[in-house]
Amino acid sequence: MKVTVLAGGTSTERDVSLVTSVKVCTALRKLGHKANVIDVFFGSDSFGSAEGFFEEKNDLEKLGDDLKQKTPLVKDEIKKRKEEGGVFFGPGVLDVIMAADIVFMGLHGENGENGKLQAVLDLFGKKYTGPGSLSSAICMDKDITKKILVPEGIPRPKGVTLIRGESTVSDEELPLPCVVKPACGGSSVGVTIAKTPEEREAAVREAFRLEEKVLVEEFISGREFSVGVCDGEAMPVIEIIPDGGVYDYEHKYDPEGAKEICPAEIPEEVSRRMQYWAEQACAAAGIDTYSRVDELMNEKGEIYCLEINTLPGMTPTSLLPQEAAAMGMSYEDLVQKLMDVSLERREEDAF
């Protein structure tokens, strides 16, 4: 199959997306597909034509490194395009999207994971990996996700949502310590654990620097887990034990930043409960392809669902490939599985 791997973009997770996309594309080529990577925002015209894009035998690692060099240019380029009436898509991107049999979504974060791009592909009638536009939009906004999950009885930390310009949260609304995070960010960018009112105020200011909407939630002390869900069925539970106690951006993408155990060393009954809540969370959000649900368990054994990742990372340190490996599935087999289930769902959604 001809596969366009969309990478990069404009979000704070741009560089992670590049790593994911290079690794996915390498696997696709090993599987025999005609695949190549293109930066959805900067694009490329080096391949000459859409067909040439799929035949290009480029060095993917070098391509990823070259695209990372463009990351510091993103903000200025966004400003330029807005002033000149430009569009989000870079040169050649729409051509290679239209020529593909399927688009593999190697993007993370804003304008990749928030449903906008999925909606465009739906209107083009193009198949793509991962959840559809509505589910993607719901899960990208942690405030909206909470409003969907809580009525379904899915356990969530208590908290409040702040909008830039409104008053901040008080001790009466939510006791300290608490967790402050942007509503639509990923990879733990901008997430802070605040223990004092001063730290909370500073954390809120930092989160507002990144986004217009911020969540302030109760701090749950306990163990961190994640559960992949593919085609409605939960994968093995993985436990994350960060070096230093906080699973932040640096720990997530540093090979030595955290210890991950899969299957998690927990009682079978606890594992089944975590898998159940992961499946229920995805079902409530309308996800019918694949995602990954992050969960916490406190000292009492109570489980909390934190968020749904609709385009889980596929880097060398990512969790979903580790869960697949625990099932005896290679990285290449996982990539093919994600494509297969997505192709099936998009066929059903075709207009």
Whole-Å CA distances, 35 to 23, 156, 190, 340: 12, 40, 34, 15
Domain's final residue, options 203, 218, 233 = 218
List, in sequence order, every residue forming a beta bridge with 34; answer none if it has no partner: 2
pLDDT digits (tens, 9 = 90+) for 184-211: 865 456 789 999 988 988 898 888 888 8
Task: Report whether the peptide linkage leading into residue 177 is cis, meaning its omega lies within 30 degrees of zero.
Answer: yes
Domain identity same for 170 and 197: yes
Question: Pairing state of beta strands 2-7 and 102-105?
Answer: parallel
Q: Is residue 118 part of a domain?
A: no
Nearest to 48, CA basis, from 96, 5, 97, 100: 96
Residues 176 and 41 in one domain: no
In this structure, the chain runs to a length of 351
User: Range of 167's domain?
Assistant: 159-218
The widest CA-to-CA distance across the chain, in whole angstroms, is: 62
Residues 258 and 317 in one domain: yes
Q: For the full predicted model, state whether its pTM sits above 0.95.
A: no
CA 310 – CA 231 distance, rounded (Å): 13
What is the full DSSP assignment across 140-155? HSHHHHHHHHGGGT--
What per-residue confidence (pLDDT) applies to 48?
A: 85
For the domain that residue 178 is a member of, what is the CATH number? 3.30.1490.20
Same domain, 75 and 179: no
Give the mean model confidence (pLDDT) for residues 140-157.
93
270 or 351: which carries more pLDDT confidence?
A: 270
Q: Is residue 117 part of a domain?
A: no
Domain count, the chain: 3
- Mean pLDDT rounded to a whole number for the chain: 91
Least confident of 107-116, 192-201, 203-212, 250-259: 250-259
Helical (H) or strand (E) element with 277? helix 268-284
